Structure 1
Amino acid sequence: MGFLIVVQAIILYVFTWVLWKVSRRYLLKSPLDNIPGPPSSSFVFGNLKEIDDPKDGWGFQEMLATKWNGVVRVKGIFNENILFVFDPKAAHAVLVKDQQIYENPPFRRTYGKLLLGDGLLAVAGVQHKTQRKLMNPLFSVAHMRGLFPTFTRVTLQLRDALRNEVQHGIKELDILNWLGRAALELVGQGGLGYSFDPLVEDVPNELGEAIKKIMPSAGGFLRYSELLSLLDNLGASAVFLRRLLEVIPVQSIQKTLQTVQVLHSGCEQIYFEKKTALAAGDDAVVHQVGEGKDIMSVLLKANIEAEEEDRLPENEVIGQMSTLVFAAVDTTSTSLTRVIELLAQKQDIQSRLREEILNALDGEEALDYDQLTELPYLDAICRETLRLYAPVSMLFRATVEDTVMPLSESIIGIDGTTMKEIPIPKGTKVFVGVSASNQNTGLWGEDAKEWKPERWMENLPTDLVEARLPGVYAHLLTFGGGGRACIGFKFSQLEMKIMLATLISSFQFTLTKDHDKIFWNATRIASPSIGSGGKQPTMPINVELVARAH
């Protein structure tokens, strides 16, 4: 009975909030009203459905990036003003210079907390800095070297599994499925010290299946995340918010709740097993998967040794585990799938890459860390794919106070005013256009929309270098920038390179006869399917052994 009264109070609160959100659009003037942009297509959803449309979202974002100059005003819920930003100086202010002002939006933090717990994606301010300080060393080059034998072992398992599939000749395989399984096992062994999938046979694993489902089902929470963030700001606990979701009779929400519970319970179990092994001494640790070198084992040890004010509580350590697998699996597997597809389309580039890798192998089964990271053409292919086809096309921020956004180039307001900077009110949402920046012809040249790996083997355009884009990787915003940049980008790069080096040296990839039916959907993480809007992500590719495979 008491819970029902609370729900009724929430309904009244939400009604009042909606009424205020609607009325303030007409009662209060905003400096953002003068920023040019497309007309709203919906009173309730503004332009959000166009941005998020799986079929046409790419085209809408490209239109924003080509029709306007650096900063565009789009409309959000109840026609609130949102800025779509790809101006270099503005992006630097958002991601680096004024990053303490442009925080992860409340609705995204609540969404992250409900899905993944109190990990990096769900916290802000001092809490985020504390977590980041403890975790940064875990993703250093030195630690990646330590993980390299694990990466090599898992990747050779993938190679052997595919050899078994194609031993009798060319065969059509769903390469996305295989790469997804391998990426999950890499983050399992290298990240959590846990084996999800031996890649020998399709062995069911409840936690692994939950990880595969979490991204596709996450939309069930996202649609309600803004409302839930209001309640979160009022002090509602995660337990209360989950209970509230439990009474919403929507199948997608209920399935997501079940998936989240499996993910949380699985990560919790791994955490306590690691904690027990650590307490038992080094002999117990080295007998675990990952031999204590995996990221979470090292984090657990570092957390115990940290000063009390820097130490993370158990729930935050567990939150890092679910956050790591959530962030690392789909982004890496879809990026690798995109590379394989492109190489299947461009056989000359595939052959050149194979020659580079085989020459470096010189008859050996696998490359060492230095050999792998020093292959220039492999590096160029990875960079160019992540430039043109970033798996996540936008980053999200919101201002926690009034500020002023500087611009590299002036824009003309709706009233004809020339603006070199924009006053930004507190609470403004900002979408940083990753793809818009990575494909900006003003920075990258007229061929910015083309996939040309060789551009990375020449001097980059002067305008690009002088723009000083705030990305942590190769003048790109693919992995973000500043204190909220992707902490695992070195992990991801190592995954991509070792899998490509192993696969390209062993197999020939060609397009299937029905490849023209493949469509890349503009989902939260870009995903391929047969036909636009396909519910089952897939990428059929013909695979065969190459004569010179070792």
Structure 2
Amino acid sequence: MISALIVGVLLIVKSIILPPSNFPKSIPTIPFYVSFLGAYTSMDQEEIYNYYMREKLEKYGAAKLYFASRWNIVIIEPELLLQLFKNENIYAKSGNQEKIPYSVLAQYTGENIISAHGEKWRLYRRVVASSVQFPNMEPIVENSKRFLDVLHQELINNSPIEIIDLLQRYTLANIGDSVLGVKFNTMEEKDTEIHKRIKHVKRQIFQPLYMNFPFLDKLPIASRMEARKEVAQFRSYFSNILKTCQNFGRETGASRLRQALDNNTLTEKEFTDNGIILMVAGHENPLLLLLSLFYIVAKYPEVQHKIRQENGDNEAPYLNSVICECLRMLPPLGQIINRRTTENVILGSNIRIPKGTYVGYNNFGTGRHRKIWGESADEFKPERWGKTPQEISRKYLEAKIKANLPAFHGRKRACLGEKFALEEVRVLIQTLLQMYQLSLDPNWVEKITPAGPICPLGLKIKFKKIEF
């Protein structure tokens, strides 16, 4: 029995340290411990990528990577990304509900329009896509003005403030007003119930140890059992909000979900899963992008000046080029591994991937790829996108089509909320910079997050009112 136990332990250790024997031999292996470095060192994602991953990925375009309790293939080469995006049936979407179904994270978001594949995805898309692609943009302007009012109240003696809470309130208000058709009142009140609950549930879910080792959620650990309970309570709470909210006189995400539930197009669980993901992705990703933009404009005063000079210009070409460059350098989701091969396949010319392998892409790596962006790939240069609105729009579209900029993913599974997210970001930055000069807190250490979503870690900003 002892011998069998020792052999079992050794096999488990081997499965973590070494990739499966049928994985492609034509690409390098990232050391297994790299994915855990953010949890037990002071390194951030940029340092980890540059030191352990960059040379291999830029040379070969793909590598083997241990992540979320299994070995995966991760890609940064645009040509390989295009193959992934084009062949949806071979590289099938397979979200956390299939990859780590036992995890608290999978319980939170379930199977939804982002993670589902095939007929399920087509069903969810028919129900909610129009509300995401064609939102009501009008509330964004009013919420941006309220943002300034709240900011003014929170500024005390010119002290720097950690801006993440206020930005979460802003993006929650926008997704509620514009897409879901639910009045969250997060810009009218400081500590709304939904704002507090979301902060709490995120702390429960996104703990580094359990994100790196999701199999631990299988164990009867008291804190994880409590996290499951908290997630279940939040799902019930949020589902009830969607069911009981009043319409704004138009079709909204909530109304379309309710109709689908009432006519049995969606089950109760599918209703909640898709409502949750609209809220989560619809506010979290713009929040991350805004944090990175606040960092950029605070770090580079000349950027602020040029954006202010565009006051009154609806096309705002320079601001758009700044946003493009921010998406390139600091994509909100740095690494996404949520596709599984449905058959043995050759990626590129010689990367033989066995059936059932998880394949994903590293947005951060593609955005910093020196073969694509040149030796200035690590430099913030908005001028690389052009000067005129037409040139910037053309280069941005070209970068997406070629998969040089996969921040919003690609092809038929591209992000439905791209237009909405970019608009709320543009409006807030324009509104804010007409009233305030931003600068970084001199005591803040410049780092991005150590793992997971990408944004400046603990960003603190000083706001100085502009005198006219």
Residue of structure 1 equivalent to 2:327:
386
When residues 329 and 424 of structure 1 are mapped into structure 2, their CA distance, relative to the original with a 3 A threshold, is: same
Partner letter of residue 317 of structure 2?
P
Matched, 1:127 2:99: no
**Partner letter of residue 333 of structure 1?**
L
Task: Give the CA deviation at 1:170.
Answer: 3.5
Match of 1:491 in 2: 420
1:32 to 9, 24, 27: 24
| 1:256 has 2:227 as partner | yes
Alpha-carbon distance between aligned partners in 2 of 1:23 and 1:184, rounded to the nearest angstrom: 41
Name the count of aligned residue pairs.
451
Matched, 1:543 2:438: no
Q: Equivalent residue for 1:296? A: 254
Q: Distance in 1 between matches of 2:320 and 2:19?
A: 54
Q: Please tell me whether residue 71 in structure 1 is matched to residue 29 in structure 2.
A: no
Change (3 A) 1:470 1:115: farther
Shift of 1:457: 1.8
Q: Is the 8 A contact 1:443 1:464 kept in 2?
A: no
Q: 2:344 aligns with which of 403, 408, 428?
A: 403
2:197 is matched with: 210
CA drift of 1:503 comes to: 0.8
134, 141, 147: which is aligned to 1:158? 147
What is the CA–CA distance in structure 2 between the aligned matches of 1:542 and 1:356, rounded to whole Å? Answer: 23
Instruction: Tell me how far 1:387 sits from its aligned partner.
Output: 0.9
Give the drift of 1:523.
2.4
Q: Deviations over 1:138-161 (max 9, x none)?
A: 223xx23xx122112212111112
Closer/same/farther in 2, CA of residues 89 and 546 from structure 1, 3 Å limit: same
Query: Does the aligned pair in 2 maintain the 1:341–1:511 contact within 8 Å?
Result: yes
Range that drifts further, 374-383 or 118-127: 118-127
The 8 Å contact of residues 189 and 294 in structure 1, kept in 2 or not, is answered as: no
Structure 1 counterpart of 2:452: 524
Aligned-residue sequence identity (percent) comes to 19
Alignment-derived partner of residue 509 in structure 1: 438
User: What residue in structure 1 maps to residue 184 of structure 2?
Assistant: 196
Amino acid at match of 2:449: N
Mark the structure with the bigger radius of gyration: 1
Aligned equivalent of 1:339: 293
Distance 2:19 2:74 in 1: 24
Contact 1:337 1:539 in 2 (8 A): yes
Deviations 1:376-401 (A, max 9, x none): 11211111111100121111134343
Give the structure-2-normalised TM-score.
0.83
Quick one: structure 1 residues 353 and 21, their matched pair in 2 at CA, closer, same or farther if it must change by over 3 Å? same
Cα 1:80–1:481 shift into 2, 3 Å: same
Residues 175-202 of structure 1, C-alpha deviation per residue, up to 9 Å, x if partnerless?
2222122112222222333333443552
The 1:51–1:273 alpha-carbon spacing in structure 2 relative to 1, beyond 3 Å, is same
Q: Which residue of 2 aligns with 1:355?
A: 309
Gaps of 5+ in 1: 1-11, 42-46, 229-244, 278-284, 361-370, 408-419, 530-537
Taking the aligned partners of 1:109 and 1:396, their CA distance within structure 2 comes to 15
Distance 1:403 1:149, change over 3 A: same
Distance 1:186 1:226, change over 3 A: same
Residue number among 78, 85, 109 corresponding to 2:75 in the alignment: 85
1:455 maps to what in 2?
Answer: 384
Equivalent residue number for residue 4 of structure 1: none
**Amino acid paired to 1:539:** L
Matched to 1:128, the amino acid is W
Instruction: Give the gaps of 5 or more residues in structure 2.
Output: none
SS in 1 for 2:160: strand
The question of whether the paired residues in 1 share the 8 Å contact of 2:138 and 2:178 is answered with: no
Letter in 1 for 2:28: P
Structure-2 residue corresponding to 1:103? 93
Alignment RMSD = 3.6
For 1:118 and 1:463, the matched residues in 2 are separated by 35
C-alpha distance in structure 2 between counterparts of 1:500 and 1:24, whole Å: 44
1:215-272 per-position Cα deviation (integer Å, ceiling 9, x unaligned):
34324664564587xxxxxxxxxxxxxxxx6x71242x13422431232122221222
Say whether 1:375 aligns with 2:316: yes
What is the CA–CA distance in structure 2 between the aligned matches of 1:24 and 1:208, rounded to whole Å?
A: 38
Deviations 1:350-399 (A, max 9, x none): 01101212x33xxxxxxxxxx3xx22112111111111001211111343
Tell me: CA distance 1:38–1:201, structure 2 relative to 1, closer, same or farther (3 Å). Answer: closer
Task: Show the counterpart of 2:47.
Answer: 59
Cα distance in 1 for residues equivalent to 2:450 and 2:346 = 28
